[in-house]
Amino acid sequence: MSFAYLKNQMTGLSRLQILPYGVHFQNKTSRVKMSFMDTQTKTTAKDFFINLGAIVALYTTVVNLINLLFSVINSAYPQITNGYNYYGTQSISWPVATVIIFFPTFLLLMWLLSKDYAVNPEKQNSGIHKWLTYITLFISGLTIAGDLITVLYYFIDGQELTTRFLLKVLVLLIIVSGIFSYYLYDVLGKLTPKKRNIYRLVSIVIIAGSITWGFSVLGSPRTQQLIKYDEEKVSDLMNINNFITNFYQIQHVLPNSLGESLTVLNSNYSTIPTDPQTHQSYEYNKIRNTTYNLCAEFNKASDNKTKQTPPMYPYDGINTWTHPAGHFCFTQTINPNMYTKPVPMR
């Protein structure tokens, strides 16, 4: 047996012995590497709050967007009823302000998530992302089903499908279906960067169009401010009407001035309201023993369909408190039969 042969045998044995260790070392290295990657893909506090913040911003934006559109629809297609109803002002100030703040926040958080997913695609399989995605799919799916059931119920029940009702159903269906399809693509792994950009663009167009439509129907912020002034003036006149009615209940005559009514009622009332816009006193004119005028300067004409207010005292006559723009007087008449004079005790 030659030395060269022994050397070759020893070398082969060494290789056989070293090979398993080499494989074992490589496998161990792989396991360490995989363990390291698993540690890296665990949900961090940053991932949790970005995902949660995005969902909260989404829900807040959607709720206020629907509120905005419903208010515009209510104003553009008012419900006509027989009798006195007060629907109040269809104000869009709060939903518009909320959407303007939360929608860009949602876009920013989703941009941060998509940027992170591009670097770490395995994060799309994190627990927080999956849970919030499936919860959103569940809620939006229930909403779509409820929306369609409502329409079908109204149709089968023979109720009138008004334009107002159908527009609200359509608004809800479009918005919720868009959310459902977006997160369904996400679950199926088909939400490409191109599709994300399309969804962003469409949502921006819808929100910008909704705000523009709202201002075109209900007026600009300045118009809303003037309407608020008018509402406060009507409320003040109704309070003053209460002062005068209480005065008549005590004295059985109308006061000659608002100051006289305050003097008698000073134990319950501290001051007579003044015009919040001009800070001037409201106009009060005694016409007859039981009839008087309450006057104010109004910025806008009220809508008879949406701003009817029930009379404070139905037996005094019909008073709707609707008014045109400009100087206007509400004529009030007290029914003296409602307020009998007290009988002196013997």
344: tokens are: 């002196």
C-alpha of 277 from chain center: 29
Question: What pLDDT, in 10s, does the model give residues 289-342?
Answer: 889 999 999 998 886 544 444 444 444 444 578 899 999 999 998 887 776 655
Closest CA to 68 of 102, 39, 37, 33: 102
Question: What pLDDT, in 10s, does the model give residues 138-183?
Answer: 999 999 999 889 888 888 888 878 888 999 999 999 999 999 999 9
Helices (H), the chain: 3-41, 45-76, 93-119, 127-156, 163-188, 193-218, 221-251, 258-264
Residue 198 has pLDDT above 70, yes or no: yes
Q: Is the dihedral of CA 189, 194, 197, 201 positive or negative?
A: negative
**Other C-beta atoms lying within 10 Å of the C-beta of residue 64:** 21
How far apart are the C-alpha atoms of 104 and 107, rounded to whole Å?
A: 5
Q: Residue 158's pLDDT is what?
A: 80
Q: pLDDT confidence of 221, banded at 50, 70, 90?
A: confident
